[in-house]
Amino acid sequence: MSEVVVTDNPEESRYEARVDGELAGFSEYHLTKASIVFTHTKVFDEFEGHGVGSKLARGALDDVRAKGGRDVVPVCPFIHAWIDDHADYADLVRKHDVGGAL
Structural domains of the chain in order of their starting residue, each with its CATH number: 4-92 (3.40.630.30)
User: Who has greater pLDDT, 95 or 24?
Assistant: 24
| Whether the Cβ atoms of residue 84 and residue 62 lie closer than 8 Å to each other | no
User: pTM (2 decimals)?
Assistant: 0.90
Of 19, 25, 21, 102, nearest to 57 (Cα)?
A: 25
For 37-89, how does the pLDDT look when each residue is reduced to its tens digit (9 = 90+)? 999 999 999 999 999 999 999 999 999 999 999 999 999 999 999 999 999 99
